[in-house]
């Protein structure tokens, strides 16, 4: 019974994520989420007390966990920090195909839509961005300690700049509806990252 409840909750989160990614949080339809999952409205409200709580759970669980898998964990792998960072960026550039380019980065989309109007969203998004920034900062700090990354940079400031560049690349590629634009931005970022080597 508990397994069924967990499966229902996961199904609702997945459907809500897809609905929010495609239409934004405010336009996301609970009825569409219920139709996609075959779950009753009563079951939805058993797991999430409101649409807002469902949106928070999408951020806390689905989006944060996806970033953990696609970004935070790969950045902890061994190797030259710049190679690790560039490899992760290029792999993600290849991953962001078709629908991802059309719809954009889900975290960035929610930041643009919700941060100014709901503090719960803003705080959660800020927390995820900080984790992302810290994962890059930790990698750069390791490189400085090993002597493979320039000590002329501040790891925290540089990590902030790199993350802002990544999200800017995604926004511009979404606006242009062009994977080529994303890869173009990635190539320019790679040139900058190579300049950080000692």
- pLDDT tens figures, 22-52: 999 999 999 999 999 999 999 999 999 999 9
State which residues form the domain around 69.
Answer: 57-194
What is the model's pLDDT at position 97? Answer: 65
Tally of domains in the chain: 1
Q: Is residue 25 part of a domain?
A: no
Q: What is the longest distance spanned by two Cα atoms in the chain?
A: 59
Q: How confident is the model at residue 61 (pLDDT cuts 50, 70, 90)?
A: very high
pLDDT, tens digit, for every residue of 97-129?
666 788 999 999 999 999 999 999 999 999 999
Q: Is residue 116 part of a domain?
A: yes
For residues 44 and 165, give the distance between their C-alpha atoms in angstroms, rounded to a whole number. Answer: 38
Q: Is residue 12 part of a domain?
A: no
What is the model's pLDDT at position 114? Answer: 98
Query: 3-class SS at 153?
Result: coil
Q: How confident is the model at residue 21 (pLDDT cuts 50, 70, 90)?
A: very high
Task: For residues 62-75, give the mean pLDDT.
Answer: 94
SS3 assignment for 73-128 = CHHHCCCCHHHHHHHHHHHHHHHCCCHHHHHCCHHHHHHHHHCCCCHHHHHHHHHH
Q: Is residue 113 part of a domain?
A: yes
Other beta carbons within 10 angstroms of residue 198's beta carbon come to: 12
**CATH value at residue 179:** 1.10.357.10
Q: Is residue 41 part of a domain?
A: no
Whole-model pTM?
0.92
pLDDT, tens digit, for every residue of 71-80?
999 999 999 9
pLDDT, tens digit, for every residue of 129-188?
999 999 999 999 999 999 999 999 999 999 999 999 999 999 998 999 888 888 888 889
Structure-token pair, residue 164: 């802002």
| Residue 8, C-beta contacts closer than 8 angstroms, at least 6 positions apart | 37, 39, 43, 47
């Amino acid at each position: 019974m508990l397994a069924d409840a967990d499966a229902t909750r996961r199904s609702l989160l997945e459907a809500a994520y897809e609905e929010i990614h495609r239409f934004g949080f405010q336009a996301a339809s609970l009825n569409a989420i219920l139709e996609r999952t075959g779950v009753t409205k009563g079951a939805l409200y058993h797991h999430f007390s409101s649409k807002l709580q469902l949106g928070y759970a999408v951020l806390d669980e689905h989006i944060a966990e996806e970033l953990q898998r696609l970004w935070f964990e790969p950045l902890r792998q061994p190797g030259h920090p710049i190679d690790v960072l560039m490899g992760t960026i290029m792999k993600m550039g290849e991953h962001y195909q078709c629908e991802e380019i059309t719809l954009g980065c889900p975290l960035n989309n929610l930041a643009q839509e919700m941060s100014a109007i709901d503090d719960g969203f803003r705080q959660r998004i800020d927390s995820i961005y900080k984790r992302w920034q810290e994962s890059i900062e930790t990698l750069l700090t390791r490189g400085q300690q090993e002597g493979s990354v320039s000590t002329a940079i501040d790891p925290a400031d540089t990590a902030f700049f790199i993350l802002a560049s990544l999200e800017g690349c995604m926004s511009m590629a979404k606006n242009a509806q062009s994977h080529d634009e994303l890869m173009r931005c990635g190539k320019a970022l790679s040139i900058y990252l190579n300049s950080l080597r000692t």
